[in-house]
Amino acid sequence: MSWEANVRKVTPYVAGEQPKGQGVIKLNTNESPYPPAPGVARVLREYDAAMLRKYPDSETEPLRSELAAYYGVEREQVFVGVGSDDVLAMAFLTFFNHPSLPVLFPDITYSFYDVWAELFRIPYQVQALDEQFHIKEEDYRKPNGGVIIPNPNAPTGELAPVSMFERILRANPDVVVIVDEAYIDFGGESCLKLIDQYENLLVVRTFSKSRALAGIRIGYAFGSKKLIRYLQDAKYSFNSYTMNSITLTAGVEAVRDDSYFREITDKVIATRERSKKELAALGFSFTDSKSNFIFAAHEKYRAKELFDALRAHHIYVRHWDKPRIENYLRISIGTDAEMNTLFAFLKEYIGA
């Protein structure tokens, strides 16, 4: 028993279910319903396995330069990691180091933030969203050890304006402010334009949602050269070869195919807007999501009941048994056909 006293004990993040088998409609982890860019499949088909003999590029090339060129920044302003979860974990470790002041983030947000804070023993304090699930800007003006806010927020889908982040940045010159833009490609305005002006801003993105590559694990971040250098120093002190060479090559193809990227994000946005109308007609209310999911509550039916009924019909959505959001379902946007199956089931169940 005694050795257990010296173990770092953590309560891990719980991801959405990954049900196996055919005929499942999976609207529970915000994956893309479309395949990745065709160039990705070509790279995987043609990859020369003999290349795996060598270590991958420790500077995450060629993906880093491709991202820099696409987004019009310098390569020294880009960091690449194994999914944005890796980028965010590394950023928590690197930037949230105040011995006593807490890191601030919303009470309703990505449920990995408190897990990393606990893992790295970083003090934190959650800030309550208002009744409409909007961020209360003034909450981020108190003394703190860092700030992290997703935009759009998850699981609410609410988008905050860049001007709000600018004011938060101006109020917090002594700490790092992280904007987690996992869903920014679905119609939001990015804080990327602020990185030259605010040396302490880190903008984190992922290939998992808008680029349809959750399975390959690519995340990236933009910031000042100084900020990115600190992040790399921490990463190289942990594992300098986390990105494998197949992923680095495949990721480039996803970035290059801009027309495909626009096509699939536009389709998701169109289906999302249509889904809002369908859900409203069925008696749901929801936030004005600018992401690839809708966070909805029904006027009569409890979320848990609907969650169970849907699951029994092999339609998976996400539900959290947490204060303030226990009556909401987070429904990822699927294909039009998948959404129609969902609406048909709900229509029958609710009798609308």
Ligand X SMILES: *Cc1c(COP(=O)(O)O)cnc(C)c1O
**Cβ distance to ligand X smaller for residue 198 or 220:** 220
Out of 60, 151, 206, 247, name the contact with ligand X by CB under 6 A: 206
| Shortest Å distance, C-beta 217 to ligand X | 7
**Cβ distance to ligand X smaller for residue 206 or 265:** 206
Examine residue 320 and tell whether it contacts ligand X (CB under 6 A): no
- C-beta separation of 336 from 161 below 8 A: no
> How many residues lie near ligand X (CB under 6 A)?
13
Which range in 8-16, 77-85, 269-277, 330-338 contacts ligand X by CB under 6 A?
77-85
CA separation for the pair 57, 62 (Å, rounded): 8
**Cβ distance to ligand X smaller for residue 15 or 41:** 15
- C-beta separation of 146 from 98 below 8 A: yes
| Shortest Å distance, C-beta 65 to ligand X | 20
Examine residue 208 and tell whether it contacts ligand X (CB under 6 A): yes
Which range in 14-22, 56-64, 206-214, 267-275 contacts ligand X by CB under 6 A?
206-214
Out of 91, 154, 191, 195, name the contact with ligand X by CB under 6 A: 154
Which range in 68-76, 82-90, 250-258, 276-284 contacts ligand X by CB under 6 A?
82-90
- C-beta separation of 158 from 183 below 8 A: no
Examine residue 32 and tell whether it contacts ligand X (CB under 6 A): no
Hey, which residues does 296 pair with through a beta bridge? Answer: 286, 329
Examine residue 289 and tell whether it contacts ligand X (CB under 6 A): no
| Shortest Å distance, C-beta 313 to ligand X | 25
Out of 33, 157, 219, 223, name the contact with ligand X by CB under 6 A: 219
Out of 31, 66, 85, 114, name the contact with ligand X by CB under 6 A: 85
- C-beta separation of 144 from 101 below 8 A: yes
Please name which of 83, 56, 91 lies closest in space to residue 207, comparing C-alpha atoms.
83
Out of 28, 32, 60, 84, name the contact with ligand X by CB under 6 A: 84
CA separation for the pair 231, 225 (Å, rounded): 10
Examine residue 180 and tell whether it contacts ligand X (CB under 6 A): yes
Q: What is the radius of gyration, based on Cα positions, of the chain?
A: 21
Please name which of 102, 85, 88 lies closest in space to residue 172, comparing C-alpha atoms.
102
Examine residue 213 and tell whether it contacts ligand X (CB under 6 A): no
Examine residue 214 and tell whether it contacts ligand X (CB under 6 A): yes
| Shortest Å distance, C-beta 14 to ligand X | 13
Q: Give the tokens for residue 327.
A: 């009556």
**Cβ distance to ligand X smaller for residue 220 or 286:** 220
CB burial of residue 132 (10 Å; 0-12, 13-18, 19+): exposed
**Cβ distance to ligand X smaller for residue 30 or 144:** 30
First to last CA, the chain: 58
DSSP 103-153: EEEESSS-TTHHHHHHHHT--EEEE---TTS---GGGGSS--SEEEEESS-
Please name which of 57, 58, 56, 76 lies closest in space to residue 68, comparing C-alpha atoms.
76
- Which chain residues interact with ligand X by CB under 6 A? 30, 83-85, 110, 150, 154, 180, 182, 206, 208, 214, 219
